[in-house]
Amino acid sequence: MRQFFSDLWLLIGLRWTLTYNGFRSRKGWQQALQLVGVVMIAGWVIFGAGALGYGLGWLANHYRDLGLEALFPGLILTAVAVVILFSSFAVALGALFLTNDLETLMTAPVSSRAVFTAKILDGLTTYYGIVLISAVPALITYGLGLHYGPLYYLLALVTVLGTPLLPAGFGALLTMLVARFAPARRVREVLGFVGAMIGVGFSILGQSSRLWMRGFFEPDSDPQQILEGVQRLSVIPLPSLIAGRGLADAGTGHWVAAFGNVAGFLLLTFGCFVGSVLLAERLYATGWARMQSAGSASRSKAQVARDAANAGLLGRAPAWLAIALKDWRIIPRDLRNFAQLLTPLFILPVVYFNLLATRNAQGSNQSLDQILRGDQAGSFSSTGIMIAMGILLATALIFRRIASNSISMEGQTWWILKIAPISPGELMRGKLAAAQVPFIILSTILLLIAAIWQRFSVLGTLYGWLGIQLLGMVILATAVGASAPWAKLDWDDPKKMTSGWGSLISMAAGLASAGLAGLLLLLPVLAQNFLPNFTAAAWALGPLLAVGVIGVTVWLSLSLGSQFLRRVGES
């Protein structure tokens, strides 16, 4: 046992040294930026958690007869435990199956149980960080709200120290179970995807809060009834809820019950943690062996023959298109990559259906003949312009993600493109096509549906389509151009592909030139409304100048990107 703790301490110390060295190796401004970022995020979470704790204290006090006082601290601890459980699953998966140091450690003369436990505890600093910025302020303000005494705060400290153990152990156990049935790399991809989905779900819930909160706060709704429903959660035998009861007992001066409940929580959580770790350790060898021998799936002869016979477009395309075709295969297959497109993909229908719901007074009064004739007076409407702009921004937002990571996404396989006999221009063209072609398809479909629904004129629709394609091209081209100088090839987590500066600069350049070109495209509409005498001149000049601005920006962006390609992967 002494050897175990000695080895464990050694391994945890090594991990901390590695983390510290990683931080030290960064430049001064990067360290400062990281610290500022962490402090800002922590500040927001602490503020939110503190407000929540105080609010819950107020509710418990206001509806004292419902007995919520003993439930709320437990709910706070449960919510934090769920967050830790999710992150511990990802941490355990990465630390136990997807690191390069494991073979060295497992063959070193240190206790293998210590290696395993050290890996499980790998994320403990993060977990305690989560507890510190969420559970601690929420429990403190909850206690302040209910005027609890010092024993509450003392036991709250003991409780939060025990909180991460159970989810950490349980997360490791879950990892072992999943790794018995599925390859670890695939699990990580799915996990990344699920994580993104949850993030997007919360984001959408937040954005649509006005809709769903309406039911909650309707004048005829009874908050007491809702809180009675919440109160029923207290029957669930969760260790965190037991701890919460103990804290409330401490606050209300029931010392014996307080110590009993908190001791019960600590025994349960520590027992489950040790049990989970021991069981997970037993399961680990099987999962590891499975990963070492993970082979390819068996294919039928018919499938093999089909693949050999069907060259498809990839077998015939010119080099630049082959690059785009390759990207279109890789992005949907790699769920981690695909997850990056999810947020804008979820935003798109929200924006689009809101746009479609906008009433087009001008269009709806037009006859079919007027629509087909497309005379200038009936060609444009403010609704049409707004819809075109909405479609442009919502679709460009999706495919800009592909464009801005177009070089970084090559990662360790960059050498293939770098030694291939293709010009930088061809490569940039291929990368632009990878983002531009799906953009054209999606924006065209969306505009066509909107045009039919809103009965836009043919000329107006055509002009709108042209505007969307031109402005979309400039937004995507600036992102592709910036993807070369700020390329990050050494990534494993797709989030690390993107450079903040690269995104910022390309976004600013793209929006500036798209804004200017957009104004030039709108010149005929503006002239039609404000300077009717100049409408013909505006028709002659506006689109021409817009095409000029877009052409120059696209050419400049791709040329600048091409210049940097030689340097990509040098360091």
Partner 1 sequence: MTETASVPTTTTPTAGPPAILARGLRKTYGEHIAVAGVDLTIGRGEIVAFLGPNGAGKTTTIKMITGLLLPTAGTAEILGHDIQHDSIAAKSLFGYVPDTPNLPGKLKGWEYLRFMARLYRIPPTEAEPRAAELLRLFDLTTAASDLIEGYSHGMSQKMALAGALVHEPQVLFLDEPTVGLDPRSARLIKDLLGQLRQRGVTVFLSTHILEIAERMADQMVIINKGAIVATGTLAELRHGGESSLEDIFLSLTGGAEYAEIAQVLA
Binding site for partner 1 (CB under 8 A): 185, 294-297, 299, 303-304, 307-308, 311-312, 314-319, 322-323, 325-326, 329-330, 333-334, 411-413, 415-423, 566-567, 569-570
Give the amino acid at 485: P
Q: In this complex, which beta carbon is closest to partner 1, that of residue 317 or of residue 458? A: 317
Q: How far is the CB of 291 from partner 1 (least distance, A)?
A: 12
Rounded to whole angstroms, the Cα distance separating 164 from 166 reads 6
Give the amino acid at 75: L
Q: How far is the CB of 494 from partner 1 (least distance, A)?
A: 12
Closest to 399 (Cα-Cα) out of 304, 323, 326, 469: 469
Q: In this complex, which beta carbon is closest to partner 1, that of residue 312 or of residue 500? A: 312
Q: How far is the CB of 311 from partner 1 (least distance, A)?
A: 6
Q: How far is the CB of 413 from partner 1 (least distance, A)?
A: 5
Q: In this complex, which beta carbon is closest to partner 1, that of residue 198 or of residue 420? A: 420
Read off the DSSP letter of residue 146: T
Q: How far is the CB of 186 from partner 1 (least distance, A)?
A: 9
Q: In this complex, which beta carbon is closest to partner 1, that of residue 253 or of residue 318? A: 318
For residues 179-198, b (16+ Cβ closer than 10 Å) or e, as one string? beeebbeebbbebbbebbee
Q: In this complex, which beta carbon is closest to partner 1, that of residue 332 or of residue 532? A: 332
Q: What is the crossing angle of helices 523-530 and 500-521, to 10°?
A: 40
Q: In this complex, which beta carbon is closest to partner 1, that of residue 31 or of residue 423? A: 423
CB–CB of 405/498 below 8 Å?
yes
Q: How far is the CB of 546 from partner 1 (least distance, A)?
A: 34
Closest to 353 (Cα-Cα) out of 398, 395, 385, 387: 387
CB–CB of 129/205 below 8 Å?
no
Q: In this complex, which beta carbon is closest to partner 1, that of residue 338 or of residue 463? A: 338
CB–CB of 398/344 below 8 Å?
yes
The DSSP line for 171-232 is HHHHHHHHHHHS-HHHHHHHHHHHHHHHHHHHHHHHHTHHHHHHHHT-TT--HHHHHHHHHG
Q: In this complex, which beta carbon is closest to partner 1, that of residue 35 or of residue 311? A: 311
CB–CB of 320/422 below 8 Å?
yes
Q: In this complex, which beta carbon is closest to partner 1, that of residue 111 or of residue 337? A: 337
Rounded to whole angstroms, the Cα distance separating 103 from 53 reads 45
CB–CB of 510/475 below 8 Å?
yes
Q: How far is the CB of 484 from partner 1 (least distance, A)?
A: 15
Q: How far is the CB of 22 from partner 1 (least distance, A)?
A: 20
Q: Where are the beta strands (DSSP E) in 442-489?
A: none
Q: How far is the CB of 563 from partner 1 (least distance, A)?
A: 13
